[in-house]
Amino acid sequence: MFFTYLRRELAGRRRQTAIIAVGMALAIALVMMVNAVSTGVRDAQAAVLESVYGVGTDLTVSQAPTAPGEGEGGPGVRFEFGQDDGATADDGTTTELSNSRLTAGPGASTFDASTLETVQSVDGVAAASATLSLTNVTFDGELPAPPSDTGGTGTSGGDAARPAPGDGGARSFGGGAFDVASTSVTGVDPTADAVGPLSAVELVDGRGLDAADAGQAVVVLDADHAMSEGLAVGDTIDLGGTGFEVVGTVASTSADAATASNAYIPLDVAQELSGLEGQVSDIAVQAESASTIPTVKADLEGALPEQEVSTQEDLAASVSGSLGSASQLVSSLGLWLSVAVLAAAFLIAILFTIQGVTRRTREFGTLKAIGWSNRRITGQVAGESLVQGLIGGAAGLALGFAGIGVVNAIAPTLATTTAPDSAAAGAMGGGFAGGGTPFDAAQATAEVVLTAPVTPTVVALAVGLAVLGGLLAGAIGGWRASLLRPAEALRSVA
């Protein structure tokens, strides 16, 4: 009886059923797409952060950047050359100069490496690894020979004198050509591979760093950087004025992001060459379980009041570029638009259900007169609304899958820029003694393909909304029908 009556009523009100189903379908499809895209954005952010901080890195400990103090090197990196530095050409017309500095950069903040022991002693910490993020700045150029002391204009320069370092251009070097380049370098503990930057890479050629490399001038290069510089395993690269043997090349384990640095060297060597003995810039921390991350963060903040402790969620705020814009768009406009459309669809379903109940006053009055209880009438109206909601849910699922398929087919590429805490000093201005051309410190940049994954959560959300919409409309409509009295209902249409 229930299903027969249900089928007859729905067939007799096709227009109302279609309107309710279409409204529910559009709302559910929009919610599905927003949820899927939101998941895709979170996955993209996780991929970027994974390459920067390492697989399994749940928290990072760092020091807040500080502005350079008075007399701490000025706006950039200073290169100094003595009178006998450089190689003069055979004809004496030019002198080639080259130098490199391995530095944390003005304003970059480091802290005592003993902090690692404090981190490891905190309950809930499964693994921790310290790193030192640096920039290798290379000056390479060719300068013309200075004029002779006798005031002539000859350039053979047998008795020509160069200005001493710091003379600030007392003699003209006009017409020189030089380049200032930078390479990001990360000092890592060769024995730590469970957490940190090198845990998020895979070996392309050669080998990685191991315990025997401590104190050795060996380097592992990012494969893309090695290719662009024409370097291979066995070659030598100058970092901080020291020749490093390339022992391996690596690439990110994520296809959507690059590695965190151009070069990886042993931590103790990085500290020595940069003049930062016993200092680190970051500590990557892995918690014993995801559920303990908030507790571990609170304990670390208590144990390290002078350091900053960040979780993956906090670090996601450092992702900028179009990926950051997409994240903000989905989390704000997309969320509220979904809520508004869903509320409108529910309201339409409720209004049409109440309107249908009002039009069926005589019908419900007759049913009550022949013995139908209020509960049975409410159940009948709720059943009709539930079926209408499920029809809308099925249509919404199909429409939502189609929309998600379009997004995945287009596969939009989003640009990302991340500024990890260790490099949060930002772009460093620099040059050479007496003035120079500024340069920017390397930041972690990558392009990620946005995909909208179809997950069981998305399907369950769509079905749940369809059921909720139908039950809500049916409950209100059934309550309205239950208020009708048989005599009044029959009298109203007499």
What are the tens digits of pLDDT across the range 378-436?
887 888 888 888 888 888 889 889 988 888 888 777 666 555 443 333 332 333 333 33
| Average predicted confidence (pLDDT) for the chain | 73
Q: Give the C-alpha separation, 268 to 288, whole Å.
A: 28
Between 332 and 211, name the one with better pLDDT: 211
Q: How confident is the model at residue 355 (pLDDT cuts 50, 70, 90)?
A: confident
Identify the pLDDT of residue 278. Answer: 92
95, 87 contact by CB (below 8 A): yes
Q: Give the C-alpha separation, 37 to 116, whole Å.
A: 38
**pTM (two decimals):** 0.56
Identify the pLDDT of residue 13. Answer: 72
- Checking if the pLDDT of 141 tops 50, the result is yes
- Domain spans, the chain: 2-46+325-412+450-492, 64-160+173-306
Give the range among 26-40, 104-118, 328-342, 348-362 with minimum mean pLDDT.
328-342
Between 489 and 242, name the one with better pLDDT: 242
Give the range among 301-305, 307-311, 452-456, 481-485 with minimum mean pLDDT.
481-485
Residue written as tokens 């499964």? 126
What are the tens digits of pLDDT across the range 44-99?
666 666 555 555 677 888 887 665 555 554 445 555 555 555 556 555 556 666 77
Q: Give the C-alpha separation, 282 to 295, whole Å.
A: 20
Mean pLDDT of 434-449: 45
**Cα atoms in the 13 Å half-sphere on the side-chain side of 352:** 25
For the chain, give the percent of residues with pLDDT over 70.
63
Tell me how far the alpha carbon of residue 282 is from its chain's centroid.
Answer: 18
Q: Give the C-alpha separation, 101 to 274, whole Å.
A: 8
- Checking if the pLDDT of 371 tops 70, the result is yes
Q: Give the C-alpha separation, 261 to 258, whole Å.
A: 8
Q: Give the C-alpha separation, 137 to 393, whole Å.
A: 60
Identify the pLDDT of residue 181. Answer: 79
Give the range among 144-148, 267-271, 428-432, 444-448 with minimum mean pLDDT.
428-432
Give the range among 3-17, 196-210, 257-271, 424-438 with minimum mean pLDDT.
424-438
Between 480 and 171, name the one with better pLDDT: 480
Between 109 and 304, name the one with better pLDDT: 304
Q: How confident is the model at residue 105 (pLDDT cuts 50, 70, 90)?
A: low
Q: How many CB atoms lie within 10 A of CB 98?
A: 18
Question: Which amino acid type is present at position 454?
Answer: V
- Checking if the pLDDT of 237 tops 90, the result is yes
User: Angle 261-265-270 (CA atoms, 0-180°, nearest 5)?
Assistant: 105
- Checking if the pLDDT of 151 tops 50, the result is no
For the chain, give the percent of residues with pLDDT over 90.
18
